[in-house]
Every structure is written in C-alpha cells, then in structure tokens.
Chains A and B, each alone.
Chain A
Amino acid sequence: MDRFEYIEARLFDGENYVKRDKNVKIYDGDDKTQFTDGEVVLTTHRILWGKPGDIPKGLVCLSLHLYYVFFVEEESGGVFGLGGPKRIILNLSPALPGKRPGPAVVSAYHFVKFSFKDGIDPAFYKALKDTIAAKAWERSLATPVQSSSLASTTTSTKPSVASVNSKIRSGIVGIERSIEEQQKATDQSISVAFQDLTKLMEKAKDMVAISKAISTKIREKQGDISEDDTVRFKSYLMSLGIDDPVTRDAFRSDSDYYMGLAQQICDMMVAVLMDCGGIMSLADVWCRVNRARGLELISPEDLLNACKLLQTIDAPMSLRKFPSGACVLQLNNQRDDEVAKNISGLFEDNEFLTPVKLSQIANVSVLLAREHLLITERLGMACRDESMEGLTFYPNLFLRQVT
C-alpha cells in the first residue's frame, strides 16, 4: 500500500487511457482497506483508483505507477471455488525514494489486491497484463514525477510524438480527457501566438481557424458572440472584407487613385445595394467601405471623389444628390427612366397615385416617392392633378391611345 500516491487524476504527457472498471476494493496484502467501491482506470503508465465520478472530474485519487508491478496474477477461485476469480494480485517492487505521499508510509506486504465485486472482466485483466508488458513508461519521455525520482533509471529521451498521434481512447473518461487536452492545447497555442507580433504572423492561419471555431461554437450555443447590437453589426461588416484595398501609394496620380477606388467601391457595393433597396446614404457607404478595408481607412473626401467617377467607369450605380442636400449612392435601375417605367407599370393596378400611396406600395419614404412621381411626370408618363386634396398623378392617356 505504501507504493500508492495521492495525485489529481490527470494524464501525464504521453500517457494514455487504456481501460476502466468499477466496484473495486483494494486490499493491502491480505488486509482490507478503507478503499472500497471505487473506480479503477488503467492507463499506459499507472493504475488510478478513485471514488465513483472523482476520476473523470480530475479530483485527487490514488495512483500506482505500473513500474512497481513486476507480476500480476488472478487469485484462484472464490471462497468455495465458485463464480470464478474475483481478485487480481499485483506483486510490487519496493517503494522508490522521492515518491509523492500516499495513504500509507510503510506496509508489511509486497503485494496489493484489487477485488472486483462483479468478477474480473477478462478484458480488463488482459489489458492490465499487456500494458505492464508493454512498459510504455520506459519508452516515453519521463514525466515530471518520474524525472525527479527515476532520473537515473530511465535512459530514454525520445519524445512522445508518436504516441500522441496514435491515441486510442474509449469511454467517457477518454472523451473527457481528449476534450480537456484539446482545450489545453488551444489555450497554449493562443498564448504562444499572442506573445509578440512575429509569432502571431507565423501562426496567423491557425489563429484565424481557432477564432472562427470558437465563435461558431459560441454562436451555436448562445445565438451570437455578443448581446451588443453594435458589436454584432461590426463583426458582420468586417466579415465582408476586401482582400487588397486600393491605396493612394499604389498610384501615380490622384485621378488614377480615385478611379481604382471607384472600381473597388463599385464591386463591393453592388450586392449590398441590391439587398437594401438600391439606395444608400453616403455616410452609410463610407462606413461599410472602410469596415471592409480594415485598417486602410479612406477619408470622406476620397469617397466622394471616387463616387463622382462611378459614371465614367460604367458602374451600375451612381452618386445622386437630393434637393435637400443629402448624398446617396443609387443603383442605376433606380435611374430616372427606370423609375418612370416602374411607376407607369403601377398605373395598371392603380387608377391614380399620390406620394403617400406610392410610398406604401413601394415601401420607400414619402419624400422619395414624390421625387419618383415628379420624375415620371417630367418624362411624360404621368399627369398631375393638383387640387385642394393635394397632388395626385394619373397615367398619361395620350400615351395609351397612341399605342
């Protein structure tokens, strides 16, 4: 019993879970001990014994290094030779100096017994024998404990790279362990990567993957990474990034620069504009463009200059200034002739249109609706009826009779 140590139930580096069993009682030699009805976990290096549930939680348990065990046998027969063997006898070599404290300081016996209430599981017994025969602790890198106590006896220096890859895990403990290890590894790689900028640059790809994995997991569980509207919106805007933003340095003249900028803005905004009704205020555009560019901000002046050039590059959108002074970026299908065509189409179903009515049909603001009606009128596709009741527009009947 003096070979046992108290230790938290965690695997050492290179140590792997092998098998477990439950309802196990420990005998110190032939004497009963207080350690009854526990759980044993066999690893490549040790046997752990703990109260049910303690080991998966990583609480303190009893640990016996397998290098103490030189011989394993089944105790012959039950009390009357019935029901098959119930106990495994582990014959142990003397305790080594420098070991951690255990439940007993001295023991009269050189063996312990594990008694299995439900009988010995042949698979467990076999696994135990095989593990002891395999002597994994001699192959792998010395653990912190071993290196202090066994520095002289272990000669191996080969790191346990291979064993990490060839892990075989089973059972809940195995799953828990592997999750725990994964998390530890992630924690570590995050802290390494963020030591300084060069490290982060080297590991950028992994870090991007990790950051995405984390946020996906959290989104699954919680809906989103943050309760804050602004943070969510920010994160959304930034995810629509531009790979290599146009910068002033790359161009010889300002006009070339604005041209390049206009092209990029056009490429980026087409989809956005289509999503939100074909029209967007310039402040809004400026925010989105800059978010997509990341750290390469452009000034409002640059944006305005670039937008003025949109027409020269045949972009499907253009800058528009309302009489009120507000600047917007507008898709060309919102251009005057297109607008007029749409509205004259609406006259099919409506006898007449007022700005208010149109605003409700087309879900645009009243002001914009009136603007649109005036455009239609200017292009000769609607006629106004101005009266006490306000401004109404009727289809141009002359147009109809001609066709």
Chain B
Amino acid sequence: MRRRAGLGAIQKQKLEQEKYREKGSEIQENQFQQMSKQLEVFRENLEEFATKHKNEIKKNAQFRRQFQEMCAAIGVDPLASGKGFWSVLGIGDFYYELGVQIVEVCLATNYKNGGLITLEELRTRLIAARGKAKKHQEITNEDLLAAVKKLRIFGNGFSVVPIGKGKWLVQSVPGELNLDHTLVLQKVSSLGTAWVSSSILTDDLGWTQTRANNALNYMIKEGLAWVDTQDSKEKLLWFPSMFSDCVSA
C-alpha cells in the first residue's frame, strides 16, 4: 500500500476502518444466519432419524452415544416413539418416554411454578419440545395421565390432582422438598408484619393464585398459620412464629 499523508488521508483511513467494521459485522451476521439454517436442517434430520431408526441406533453402542451427543448439542429429543400396537395395553417404551418428558417439563418449569402445572400447559410444552412431527401433536391428555400413573410407584411425590371439569394439575414436588413454604415465611419476615395474604404472594413473588393458595392452605393445615377473616378485602394469615419479631421491632 502506498503511504498517504495529511488530513484527507486520515479521514479516508477512518472511513475505511468504518467500512471494514461494517463489513465485519455483515459477515458475522451472514455466518450466523447460515448457522441457524444448518441448525434447523440438523434438527429436522435428527428428529426424523430418531423416529425411523430407533432400533438400529439402539443396537450400536458407539453410534448410540454419538447420536445422543448430537441430540444434546442441537436440542433434539431422541425419544420419539409413536404409540404403536403395544401401547394400547400400556406396554412398551411409549409411556416411559412420555413419563421422562413429563418429569422433564415439570423440572424445567418448577422454578416458575413451584412444581404445580396444569395438564394443558404440560401438554403444550411437552409437544413443543418433542418436535414438529405430526404424530407428536396427537398426544392426548389421556396419554399423559396414563404415563403419570406409571410414576405412582414412587409414592405421592408425583401426583395428579383433579380440579374438576376435566382439568388436572400435576404436582411434581413432594411436600418434603417444597420450598414454597419457606419462601412464604421469608416473605412474611421481610414484611415485618407477621401476616400475609395470597394477593401479596401473587403480586410480590409473581406466583399464580393456585400456587399461593396451595402453599397457604398447607401451612394452615400444618398449624403454622392462623386465619384472620376480619379484613374486609381478603383473608389474612398470621404466623405466630413471627410474633416475637413484631414485639421486638
């Protein structure tokens, strides 16, 4: 390159640098789009293979591992069996697969819902994560209930609660591991009031009404909270264990 001097040269150089930068980001953007496309192709192919060649993949140990790695990288679910003949009798991998996927959805969302999810939401999420193929769309609520039934053997840690009108709630966190009560207590102590209401929980913690009621009812049942119906708007719950804090404050 020839050497240039003067103000014009500097400006030109600046302009050039600007252009290079633009070009650079343009190239990156392009590359990213290409990658996204490849990701899609990969996803479609993996989904298709998982459905069609399950048994062959299962047989070859080394390939099975590799297939799993690919699925993990791209985010494809290798478990994609159709209902098949045997599932009529409740036998076969189909319901186990669903079971795994159900637990997975519950685990992935329980930071948001505290381990309570409606069957409808569960189904929507499960199908979305399973893939786009048509047969996944045909999974019914009955299939899900049948799959959850298989988990009963683990005690009541994973249970379906009917809430009427053909609707269900799936509870995935057993009482012993449910930290919601602790969160309620933390909330109460931070408020410094020794009482709380379900609207405070839904507003401040972003909980659903069901989640809040579930936690509070449990605490009433366990004798941790006392009910106060004197407030005109809603039921208040007092926590005797917090009284001492009130007095000292």
Contact = CB atoms under 8 A, between A and B. Distances in A.
Given A204-B67, A291-B100, A371 B176 contact: yes
B107 A238 contact: no
Given A208-B70, A211-B74, A326 B129 contact: no
B57 interface: yes
A230 B174 contact: no
Contacts of A371: 176
Nearest to A304: B153
B226 to A, nearest CB: 11
A187 B93 CA distance: 34
Interface stretch (B138-146, B154-162, B201-209): B154-162
B78 A295 contact: yes
Contacts, number: 255
B235 interface: no
Nearest to A191: B41
Contact of A214 (B38, B104, B179, B182): B38
B185 A360 contact: yes
Contact of A241 (B72, B105, B125): B72
B77 A365 contact: no
Contacts of B172: 281, 283-284
Interface residues of B, number: 81
Contact of A297 (B57, B75, B96): B96
A328 B156 CA distance: 11
A287 B100 CA distance: 5
A365 B224 CA distance: 13
B230 to A, nearest CB: 21
A363 B155 CA distance: 24
Given A283-B154, A290-B100, A371-B176, A208 B181 contact: no
Contacts of B70: 204, 207-208, 211
Contacts of B30: 179
A212 interface: yes
A233 interface: yes
Given A324-B176, A363-B182, A365-B177, A286 B72 contact: no
B79 interface: yes
B11 interface: no
A7 B6 CA distance: 40
Given A238-B68, A283-B158, A366-B182, A324 B42 contact: no
Interface stretch (A100-108, A221-229, A375-383): A221-229
B216 interface: no
A294 interface: yes
A286 to B, nearest CB: 7
Contacts of A212: 69, 73
A250 B39 CA distance: 37
Given A230-B128, A281-B158, A328-B177, A300 B49 contact: no
Nearest to A354: B241
B66 interface: yes
A98 B67 CA distance: 49
A55 to B, nearest CB: 13
Contact of A215 (B41, B74, B97): B74
Contacts of A279: 177
Contact of A230 (B45, B105, B155): B105
- Can you list the 10 inter-chain pairs with the closest CB atoms, starting with the nearest? A326-B174, A287-B103, A233-B108, A326-B157, A238-B72, A283-B158, A282-B154, A194-B45, A204-B66, A230-B129
Given A183-B34, A205-B66, A325-B156, 8 more contacts: A204-B63, A217-B35, A243-B65, A281-B173, A282-B154, A295-B64, A325-B157, A367-B178
23 contacts: A56-B23, A187-B41, A190-B41, A208-B70, A215-B74, A215-B75, A218-B39, A228-B129, A230-B128, A234-B77, A234-B108, A291-B104, A295-B79, A321-B155, A324-B175, A326-B157, A326-B174, A328-B174, A366-B219, A367-B175, A367-B222, A368-B176, A389-B241
